[in-house]
Structure 1
Amino acid sequence: MRRKQIIIFLSGMLLFGTAFPQDKLVIDLTAAKEHALNYNRTIKNSGLAVDQSQEKLWATMAAGLPQVNATADYTNAMGAKISIQFDESAPATEIPIKPTSNFNLQVGQLLFNGSYFVGVQTAKLAKKLSEKSLKKTEQDVVSQVVEGYYLVLVSEEMLKILQGNKDNLQKVYRKTEPMVKVGIMEKVELDQLSVQVNSLDNAVKSAERQYEMAKNLLRLQLGVTAETELELTQPLSDFLEPNWVADTSFELSENADYQLVEVQEQITEKQIDLQKASYLPTVSGYYNFTEKLLKPAFDMSPRHMVGLQMNIPVFSSGERRAKVKQAKIDLEMARNSKALLEDQLAIQFKQLRFNLNNALESYETQQKNIKISREVYENLKRKYEQGMISGLELTTADNNYLQAESDYLASVLEVLQAQNALDTLTGQVLNN
């Protein structure tokens, strides 16, 4: 199915129109990877997520550091008085209420809280998780860039083949015209060539649109504008290794998805510790300084005060116990998911190696076929020019030749995509 899709992609060719580039980017594959790592917007967002996790870590740590708060107040009773009467027979004594103003400085320090220490450790793991997510995003984007680069090269090669074939057939057509006029060949031979030339002209136009579509996809992955002209400096032949082999080794620890699951498992383990910490007391201390800016007539407030406070959880009707059990169940589920992923990755690695081997076999076969098809086509073209075969036989040979070219390029793209998928799974795509 995948092979048919590739052939349709190369031969169908009927999408997007041509853009009008302004800027120009000249790059090889290595430079394309670097450009995507620096400018791709998905990677930028993942980088910002790492920065955000760092700030969250600091906010978590800051909760256990000294906290300083200051307040100032002013009160005025607007001339009101306090009336005090000690003896019913004596007149009441009135004391005016003076305006007051206070400045209060309080310093608090968390001395012990089990949840705080576990929270800091969890925040560190969350930061590590965001860093692993960034690496996976970089890996996925680079993998897309590699495949996009290959797709542009294959589309360009198909366009060149169609254009060259069209030019050759037009030359045959021009040579046939005078032969028809003098009666050496029948007009039907010329008509058959005309139909083939017109078909090739449409194929070339579709190939141009398909080539531009492939470049648009690569532009998106590189993080450049739609108006940027791309010039790829590496030809397709640079990636056709003479001794391709599918013997890549696989280490689970190098896989980005597995690394993410490992960190998530560690975070789940910390959730158990977090729930257990709710059984522990919380101890905090404070220092309070009060300065009377406008003192009342009667004042017994101390200027300095220190204190300790302990909050001891006693009974929660089984709520804490239930939460610990829930966290343990979450950990068991996380470990099951990790084991499942290990199996899936092992099977995926085996399948990708199988795909690469199949693609290599197909590539070797198409290499031989394309050589034979070219020879057959060139031989029949010479025979046609000598009047030994009909125009129908020549157009049939031409179609067979183009199909062989399409099959060959499809096999090349299939091998390159299979190798890229294997490199992505094994974590080598960023290093190659």
Structure 2
Amino acid sequence: MERLYKILLVCILINFTQIAFAQNQGFSLQQCIDYGIENNPNLKNSKTSIVSSQARVRETLASGLPQIGASSDLSSNLIIPTTFLPAQVFGGPAGEYVGVKFGTRYVGRASLNVDQMIFNGSYFVGLKASQVYTELSRQDLVRTKTDLVVAIKKAYYSVLVNKERLALVDKNYERLDSLLSQTKTMFNNGFSEKIDVSRVQVQFNNIVNLKRTTQLGMEISLNLLKFQMGYPMNQSIELSDKLDDIRLQALDDDFTKNFTYLNRIEYRLLDINSQLVKLDIRNTNSQYLPKLDFYGNYGASYGSSDYNQFVKFGSNWKSFGLIGIRANLPIFDGFRKSNQIQQKRIQLEQLENNKTLLKNQIDMEQLQNQLAFKTNLETLKSQKDNLDLADEVYKVSVIKYQHGIGSNIEVINADASLKEAQTNYYAALYDALISSVDLEKSFGKILDK
């Protein structure tokens, strides 16, 4: 017991150390995914469903094993029943009856019962169905894991984008604060007008509000990430990945080749459900077959009107026993099973139609996601070029203004264009990242590391 306690303590310390290390170093995307797989409540439920389905297999298997039971009965006949027999049996006149009490005051019985199934078609089909049901639970776990990874990736990318946006807003804040200070100095020295100070002040107030909004978005995206991971909401979390570490590359043939519909978890689940319906049809058909069971019973009984003799449990107890085979052959059930089979065949046909519908949906998703990803990459490149250009224009306008050959309005307009270019760039970057996740999911590659 002490050794087990030490092992558990070591495991807890190792786990705590790993979490503490991740917190100090920051979580990478893969670490967030791994943490979510271990701690997300939905995924925990899916894992327990597999354990439950495995127990269901063992439960089905148990019904084909010998069923053994014991029973005992000790009773006291307060009033022994009276049986009426013809009086002639005892030498009396014909037509009259004499009441006779058969039995003893105290009666005891103990027996052991054994039942063993010899043949039952439903049992073998049910055993196969329970195994398929376990596979269904495993695939349902994959679906839950897939949805979780998608959610964590999108939340992680959202945090990274908001984090970089916030850093950029801070730079803009410092830049406008410096510009406001310079403009006020120029106004005090008579080199600019009051309206110039007011224009910069408006821009500065806007960046203050934008900073507040961006900080709120950062907190919301962080909380969403922690929620998806199953991470404590009241604990801080740091991320180690950077946007510069992410490489968004154009699609190549290797990404799309060798795809089959079975790569998609939704299709696999439909396929397993079809197998279950087919087994259900087999099970109903098997109910037309006879059932054969072996049974046996062995025990002992005793009766006495003397309580002291009764409770001695001596050799007066008399044994009994029997064995037998029980057959049950269904003959006519009012076409109940026939109608059940018809319903299940319709259900199977509907599942096949759903497969066709899902195939078409997958094809559409893949085409749309490929187009969206390609378009978002092109938009991202265009917005990056536009951002670089807007930054250059702003720098030139500031230099001209500082040397007295540019206007304050020119600087304000350049600043507005720069902030718009920044907003458009990060929106395009976020769209490209999200579309890359959707593309991976549509080709069933979301769990590929």
TM-score, normalised relative to structure 1: 0.89
Contact between 2:75 and 2:106, CA under 8 Å: does it hold in 1? yes
Q: 1:238: which partner in 2?
A: 245
Taking the aligned partners of 1:416 and 1:251, their CA distance within structure 2 comes to 25
Contact between 1:24 and 1:228, CA under 8 Å: does it hold in 2? no
**Residue identity matched to 1:175:** Q
Contact between 2:300 and 2:318, CA under 8 Å: does it hold in 1? no
Out of 277, 280, 290, the residue aligned to residue 271 of structure 1 is 280
Report deviation, 1:341: 1.0
Taking the aligned partners of 2:116 and 2:305, their CA distance within structure 1 comes to 31
Report SS of the residue matched to 1:74. Answer: strand
Q: 1:283: which partner in 2?
A: 292
**Residue identity matched to 2:129:** T
Report deviation, 1:62: 1.4
**What do the CA deviations read for 1:269-314 (whole angstroms, capped 9, x no partner)?**
11110111111111111111112255689x9986221011111011
Taking the aligned partners of 1:166 and 1:328, their CA distance within structure 2 comes to 68
Moved over 6 A (4+): 89-96
Matches of residues 65-214 of structure 1 in structure 2 within 5 Å?
65-78=65-78, 80=80, 86-88=90-92, 97-214=104-221
Report deviation, 1:222: 0.8
Report SS of the residue matched to 1:280. Answer: coil
Report SS of the residue matched to 1:328. Answer: helix
- Structure 2 residue 61 is the aligned partner of structure 1 residue 61: yes
Taking the aligned partners of 2:401 and 2:416, their CA distance within structure 1 comes to 15
Contact between 1:82 and 1:96, CA under 8 Å: does it hold in 2? no
Report SS of the residue matched to 2:112. Answer: strand
Out of 369, 379, 385, the residue aligned to residue 352 of structure 1 is 369
Contact between 2:300 and 2:319, CA under 8 Å: does it hold in 1? no
Matches of residues 16-27 of structure 1 in structure 2 within 5 Å?
24=23, 26-27=26-27
Q: 1:7: which partner in 2?
A: none
Q: 1:309: which partner in 2?
A: 326
Taking the aligned partners of 2:329 and 2:317, their CA distance within structure 1 comes to 32
Q: 1:13: which partner in 2?
A: none
Contact between 1:79 and 1:96, CA under 8 Å: does it hold in 2? no
5+ residue gaps in structure 2? 1-21, 307-315
Taking the aligned partners of 2:164 and 2:303, their CA distance within structure 1 comes to 89
Report deviation, 1:392: 2.5
Contact between 1:268 and 1:327, CA under 8 Å: does it hold in 2? yes
Matches of residues 335-346 of structure 1 in structure 2 within 5 Å?
335-346=352-363
Q: 1:385: which partner in 2?
A: 402
Taking the aligned partners of 2:103 and 2:355, their CA distance within structure 1 comes to 76
Taking the aligned partners of 2:305 and 2:194, their CA distance within structure 1 comes to 121
Contact between 1:103 and 1:290, CA under 8 Å: does it hold in 2? yes
Higher relative contact order (CA 8 A, sep 6+): 1
Report SS of the residue matched to 2:163. Answer: helix
Report deviation, 1:317: 2.4
5+ residue gaps in structure 1? 1-22
Report deviation, 1:230: 1.3
The 1:190–1:380 alpha-carbon spacing in structure 2 relative to 1, beyond 3 Å, is same
Taking the aligned partners of 1:36 and 1:295, their CA distance within structure 2 comes to 71
**Residue identity matched to 1:135:** V
The 1:93–1:220 alpha-carbon spacing in structure 2 relative to 1, beyond 3 Å, is closer
Report deviation, 1:38: 0.4
Contact between 1:172 and 1:385, CA under 8 Å: does it hold in 2? no
The 1:100–1:230 alpha-carbon spacing in structure 2 relative to 1, beyond 3 Å, is same
**Residue identity matched to 2:92:** E
TM-score, normalised relative to structure 2: 0.86
**What do the CA deviations read for 1:195-214 (whole angstroms, capped 9, x no partner)?**
11111011001110110000
Report deviation, 1:91: 9.3
Taking the aligned partners of 1:52 and 1:95, their CA distance within structure 2 comes to 54
Contact between 1:79 and 1:97, CA under 8 Å: does it hold in 2? no
Contact between 1:423 and 1:429, CA under 8 Å: does it hold in 2? yes
